[in-house]
Structure 1
Amino acid sequence: EVFSESLYTELDFRNEALNALRMGEVIAENGLGSRIAVQEPLPELATRRVMASRWVEGVRIADLPEGELRAVVAAGQEAFLVQLLEAGFLHGDPHPGNLLLVSGGPDRGKLCLLDFGLVAEIPPEPRRLFVEAIVHLGTRNWEAFVGDLVALQFLSPREDRA
């Protein structure tokens, strides 16, 4: 039932347009607008079966030379950590086909996020637990890290912790 509702929501392009608008707000409100762009939807043209957005001229990140890719990846990492840990609104499909390096216009040089059909809402408590897990991972506190994975329900409490 949850899967079918999620699929229905993802396939309604009016929702995708609203998700893109919201992601644009998340990027702007968190000071990421100088490095990250969001493909601008045209909600007035969106229907359940049609999505319209402004064209973004860009280069697929899979086609970038390694030197350029490093800067783009750093911006992307920051953007996705902000989405996950601070905003609680996460782009759910960040594969290379949904990420471009903008090659023209006012957003030139920015990483552009595309396709907002799949997004996730992350409530405050799991966000707090993710932060704790990152701290425990970084400090090599493995026992606490495993506890975090249990609290996040990535591991069962019955798993062997040895």
Structure 2
Amino acid sequence: MCEYEDNNTSILDDIPRLYDLVDKVRDPRQICVKLLKYHKGNIEVSKFLYYVMVTYDVDFPDFYDTTLHNITVDTLPKNIYFIKELLNKDISICIIQKYLDYIINLLLDISTLDLISVLDVLVDVYSKIKVLRRDYPQFRILEKSTTPVRERVKKIIN
């Protein structure tokens, strides 16, 4: 990994290849240490670090806070990936709620097609975790929307 310090190749351009490389090293943290400085502001780095966390049971300090920041600077539909993944890992309800708060605040600002895909994920999240907050004003507004949107919102609220 030191080769990146000596030439013009960006480690960020090689993230897709890192998935194969990480499986071949004894300690995946060796690769991740270099990436941590690029984590803030780069969703692809967040996805790779999350893959390493889940696959190798490694933890990174402030991973979830930094990833939440990354989601706030990147587009919502592209990053809905994390909500789906959080359901598959034993993550605290507080962390999941933080992500949901951000996503739900954006619901009124996205296109209908993206909105439907996000609501599908939210329906899944709320069906699996019953204790999550559901009393968002955005849901009340969307409840008066078109039929596909309204149906999904009703599943979340009820």
Say whether the fold is shared (TM-score over 0.5): no
Q: As a proportion of its length, which structure holds more helix? A: 2
Identify the structure with bigger relative contact order (alpha carbons < 8 Å, sequence gap 6+). Answer: 1
TM-score range, shorter chain: under 0.3
TM-score relative to the length of structure 2: 0.24
